[in-house]
A and B are shown apart, each in its own frame.
Chain A
């Protein structure tokens, strides 16, 4: 999982990285970024294809390279789960095993039932062969490797879903332990189920793949090229998914699950999707690996394999597609070539200087120790990995940093709803809350609160700290379950609906203590807000047909339009990671993200908190503009001047109960309100001397 420290100064001091340096020093630097990526990709492809010739067709080395490719493919799959979706999976090798045994079972002589007519059609399809034997003919499974590749992937994905469905609700580290348990159970079952797996002995005589009637045999070359093809396909798949609506949803879950749900991401569905796709990668690779080795034993899929893959992902860069490929290849090459050579050199050195233990050092056996050291070292000093998933952006010029709020011209804001008209035309109030009660254990956070918000109005909710304002938002948006009461939104009951459905219905919110996706850019944050209004699925993201491209381009354009609401506050910073923004700008991004979901109703939780008076005024103006566009707004706010200038109606909460409601003027004179804010003595005109309590200046 990518952490929030990628931008921390400590990371960057060591992070002025070798790769960046090489890039800057090379002629590649002169190319535009997307050209550079293309040139690097072509270079990588040429090297990959020419590799067997470059190393002079040494079969053992090509074999090591083919193995390394299998692990690169696995690392890519684990990266989807751990890197993209942020779900730590310590039992990933289990899916590798499932894919491996799937192919092994259907392409070996492990299981040979008696022949019957039932098998005729399968024989005709070349899926089975009839073996003639004394005492009755037998069935021999001979399913083609190429057919089993997708089938194994599907099998593994199926297990991913079956296993993930009940467990993916768990918190990060608990999920890790559950996956660890799963990763243990699968090899144990493999060991104890000899009919299918041949137990600890392992499957034998797994058929080699064939192409146009030529069997691959034991020569490493064809496997190498299949491996190159597999890795290339998985890189392609990963990159396309990453830069799509799917990838953004995954990263949103990784960064902040609650916020992701509140922005319309169906957490369970997208976590399962990540699990399934990650498992599918492992399943396909399992087939490849077993076809290459022509055997499968339980030991090939134990915990050390899962850890090695995790080390590869962490080493290469969590969430970075090219990073994990490079990481996997480097570690595999280290393991199979470099450590051997290094040991030989040490032996020679030992002979030379006559030191006995140097002559006996076997570095290859300490590879796991090296993995452990790498893991700890990377976590302590370079959590973003060798090739970080996100690139750094250049600093803004002085001019760009100067606020020019006037740029926010009305015509641009007028187009705020380009993605579909979601205006509400019903007769009921847009939001109607009746008798809402929320209880946390013994504490009643809300007691029988009723509130109605007519379409097109601005309602402010005020009250002292702890009076239940944010709980009201949480209960309405589905983050907190209400004990009783009814909530109707746009003519439909919404109580009990999950947060992502509530957003889908057209209610978006911001959070009191800002819940952005810290390691994503401004633009990505805003585009995640559009999640519920876009439709690209996994297949669409892969194929990237014109329809998908258009949707993506429009979404991007719309996001930029929304950002113009704040003048040049955010526009020059669209590619900046939000954790690098100022506090006020983060609040603005959160509002923009909520607006991106084309809401009918916007819930703002203390939007001006932490802003200075000028910024507060500016934001109040912008909220007014939105209201002018017909957006209905509910606002929690402590600054009463903002409330007075914006709200049509004010609701006052105290100790979870509604104590007053009315126009700002009426509420301001309400005795109970004054008492709630200032205490009993103030209400009877006898305010204690000394410093006035919080809020008093605004009330009086």
Chain B
């Protein structure tokens, strides 16, 4: 491959990673925008969801890359897999909010965040103890179809990732900006007290934020499995932190920012791994996280938060 083709290939890879990070980053942003809570459990909801997705695919009799489907069978399986995984992930998010976070509502400081670390730890270890520490071959019914583009190649699974991400993000955008509940959500993010007084059921809005964010994490988890063909108990932390960096880079609390941040982090990961060395990728990404937080705390597209004395 010529070097142009290498970079083109890395851009394609980066966009796929970025789409996945963006979906995951949206979960952080939705919850943070409303509760000002960094939901650490989100990392692990993503990881657990990838195992749920695996179970769904296996329920269709798929295992590894042995069964390749096409046409309506493929579309049907994917629609059901995404739907079921997202529902289960969303349910998990709602459950977490209901059981562990609602009782702590309104308590200032880092109590909420510490609790989400605890929940994340529980999810992590439940998977570790039940499923085990190995890395699992992910059932993947997608045929390996690829098109050459300028020396690089574009695969069907990449198109699927971009398509699914685009549909979900547009859907979220529509929901937040065009529906009644979306308006209630935006109002709650601005000032939950005022929204409550105007008759907004704030509890419902918060549940909705957790549901949507976690469902998107479920989609991201399935995408991860279909893209990399494996899953493991550790992906929550490694992938989650990158997605979180994406959310911060874009401006946490900003839906558009999460998408932009996700794409940027995806590209940095792909191209950085190419330009420097894969073993330093994490250092690069964490450095970005630290630098953005220190020098640009509102991110690329975040709004300045009003602080009152």
Interface residue B131 (Cβ < 8 Å from any Cβ of A): no
Interface residue B244 (Cβ < 8 Å from any Cβ of A): yes
Question: What is the CB-to-nearest-CB distance from B270 to chain A, in angstroms, rounded to a whole number?
Answer: 19
* Other-chain contact of B113, A173, A307, A311 (Cβ < 8 Å): A173
A379–B309 touching, CB < 8 Å: no
A366–B129 touching, CB < 8 Å: yes
CB neighbours (8 Å) of A5 from chain B are: 107
Which residues of chain A from 160 to 189 have a CB within 8 Å of any chain B CB? 166-167, 169-170, 172-174, 176-178, 180-182, 184-185, 188-189
Q: Mark B93-131, 1 if CB is under 8 A from A, else 0.
A: 000000010011001111101110111111011101100
CB neighbours (8 Å) of B108 from chain A are: 3-4
A184–B113 touching, CB < 8 Å: no
Question: What is the CB-to-nearest-CB distance from A320 to chain B, in angstroms, rounded to a whole number?
Answer: 16
Interface residue B237 (Cβ < 8 Å from any Cβ of A): yes
Q: Mark A443-470, 1 if CB is under 8 A from B, else 0.
A: 0000000000000000000000000001
We find that the number of chain A residues with CB closer than 8 angstroms to chain B is 50
B110–A176 touching, CB < 8 Å: yes
* Also in contact, A380 and B122, with CB within 8 A (given A167-B293, A258-B309): no
Which residues of chain A from 342 to 376 have a CB within 8 Å of any chain B CB? 365-366, 368-369, 371-376
A379–B104 touching, CB < 8 Å: yes
A373–B118 touching, CB < 8 Å: yes
CB nearest to B129 among chain A residues: A366
CB neighbours (8 Å) of B118 from chain A are: 311, 371-376, 379
Cα A86 to Cα B38 with chains together (Å): 17
Interface residue A479 (Cβ < 8 Å from any Cβ of B): yes
* Also in contact, A185 and B286, with CB within 8 A (given A1-B109, A372-B125): yes
Cα A189 to Cα B294 with chains together (Å): 21
Interface residue B19 (Cβ < 8 Å from any Cβ of A): no
Most A CB atoms within 10 A — which of B118, B120, B126? Answer: B118
CB neighbours (8 Å) of B244 from chain A are: 177
Interface residue B273 (Cβ < 8 Å from any Cβ of A): no
Interface residue B248 (Cβ < 8 Å from any Cβ of A): yes
Interface residue A303 (Cβ < 8 Å from any Cβ of B): yes
Cα A366 to Cα B130 with chains together (Å): 11
Interface residue B145 (Cβ < 8 Å from any Cβ of A): no
B125–A366 touching, CB < 8 Å: yes
CB neighbours (8 Å) of B36 from chain A are: 173
Interface residue A267 (Cβ < 8 Å from any Cβ of B): no
Cα A373 to Cα B115 with chains together (Å): 10
Question: What is the CB-to-nearest-CB distance from B294 to chain A, in angstroms, rounded to a whole number?
Answer: 5
B283–A376 touching, CB < 8 Å: no
B297–A170 touching, CB < 8 Å: yes
* Other-chain contact of B124, A368, A375, A479, A511 (Cβ < 8 Å): A368
Cα A8 to Cα B119 with chains together (Å): 24
Q: Mark B198-225, 1 if CB is under 8 A from A, else 0.
A: 0000000000000000000000000000
CB neighbours (8 Å) of B126 from chain A are: 369
We find that the number of chain B residues with CB closer than 8 angstroms to chain A is 41
Question: What is the CB-to-nearest-CB distance from A116 to chain B, in angstroms, rounded to a whole number?
Answer: 33
* Also in contact, A184 and B241, with CB within 8 A (given A173-B37, A307-B121, A380-B103): yes
Cα A380 to Cα B113 with chains together (Å): 12
Interface residue A631 (Cβ < 8 Å from any Cβ of B): no
Number of A-B contacts (CB under 8 A): 129
Question: What is the CB-to-nearest-CB distance from A262 to chain B, in angstroms, rounded to a whole number?
Answer: 9
Cα A90 to Cα B120 with chains together (Å): 14
B290–A181 touching, CB < 8 Å: yes
* Also in contact, A375 and B109, with CB within 8 A (given A178-B294, A303-B237, A366-B129): no
Which residues of chain A from 292 to 338 have a CB within 8 Å of any chain B CB? 303, 307, 310-311, 314
B121–A372 touching, CB < 8 Å: yes
Q: Mark B24-63, 1 if CB is under 8 A from A, else 0.
A: 0000000000001110000000000000000000000000
Cα A83 to Cα B26 with chains together (Å): 32
Interface residue B279 (Cβ < 8 Å from any Cβ of A): yes
A383–B122 touching, CB < 8 Å: no
* Other-chain contact of A375, B110, B114, B283 (Cβ < 8 Å): B114
Question: What is the CB-to-nearest-CB distance from B269 to chain A, in angstroms, rounded to a whole number?
Answer: 15
Cα A169 to Cα B122 with chains together (Å): 31
* Also in contact, A167 and B309, with CB within 8 A (given A184-B282, A185-B283): no
Question: What is the CB-to-nearest-CB distance from A460 to chain B, in angstroms, rounded to a whole number?
Answer: 21
CB neighbours (8 Å) of B241 from chain A are: 180-181, 184
B119–A4 touching, CB < 8 Å: no
* Other-chain contact of A86, B109, B115, B129, B237 (Cβ < 8 Å): B109
CB nearest to A91 among chain B residues: B286
Most B CB atoms within 10 A — which of A185, A366, A479? Answer: A185
CB neighbours (8 Å) of A169 from chain B are: 294
Question: What is the CB-to-nearest-CB distance from A471 to chain B, in angstroms, rounded to a whole number?
Answer: 9
Most B CB atoms within 10 A — which of A3, A4, A258, A311? Answer: A3
Cα A368 to Cα B118 with chains together (Å): 10
Interface residue B135 (Cβ < 8 Å from any Cβ of A): no
A188–B100 touching, CB < 8 Å: no
* Also in contact, A192 and B280, with CB within 8 A (given A258-B309, A303-B237, A380-B100): yes
CB nearest to A4 among chain B residues: B108
Interface residue A474 (Cβ < 8 Å from any Cβ of B): yes
Question: What is the CB-to-nearest-CB distance from A385 to chain B, in angstroms, rounded to a whole number?
Answer: 12
Most B CB atoms within 10 A — which of A167, A176, A374? Answer: A176
Cα A374 to Cα B103 with chains together (Å): 16
CB neighbours (8 Å) of B103 from chain A are: 380
CB neighbours (8 Å) of A176 from chain B are: 38, 110, 113
CB neighbours (8 Å) of B282 from chain A are: 184-185, 188
CB nearest to A90 among chain B residues: B117
Interface residue B17 (Cβ < 8 Å from any Cβ of A): no
CB neighbours (8 Å) of B100 from chain A are: 376, 379-380
Cα A77 to Cα B156 with chains together (Å): 53
B279–A178 touching, CB < 8 Å: no
Question: What is the CB-to-nearest-CB distance from B258 to chain A, in angstroms, rounded to a whole number?
Answer: 15
CB neighbours (8 Å) of A571 from chain B are: none
B117–A380 touching, CB < 8 Å: no
A310–B297 touching, CB < 8 Å: no
Cα A181 to Cα B279 with chains together (Å): 16
Cα A383 to Cα B103 with chains together (Å): 12
A182–B121 touching, CB < 8 Å: no
- A residues touching B (Cβ–Cβ < 8 Å)? 1, 3-5, 86, 88, 90, 166-167, 169-170, 172-174, 176-178, 180-182, 184-185, 188-189, 191-192, 258, 303, 307, 310-311, 314, 365-366, 368-369, 371-376, 379-380, 383, 470, 474, 479-480, 511
Offer 22 A-B interface pairs, CB within 8 angstroms, sorted by A: A1-B110, A3-B107, A3-B109, A5-B107, A88-B110, A88-B114, A167-B290, A173-B110, A177-B289, A178-B289, A178-B293, A181-B289, A182-B286, A185-B282, A189-B283, A368-B125, A369-B129, A372-B125, A375-B117, A375-B118, A376-B115, A470-B309
Listed from nearest, the 7 A-B pairs whose CB atoms lie closest are A375-B118, A372-B121, A369-B125, A372-B122, A376-B118, A181-B286, A379-B115
Given A5-B107, A167-B293: 15 more A-B contacts, CB < 8 Å: A170-B294, A173-B37, A177-B244, A178-B290, A185-B287, A192-B280, A311-B118, A369-B126, A369-B129, A372-B120, A375-B114, A375-B121, A376-B115, A379-B115, A474-B309
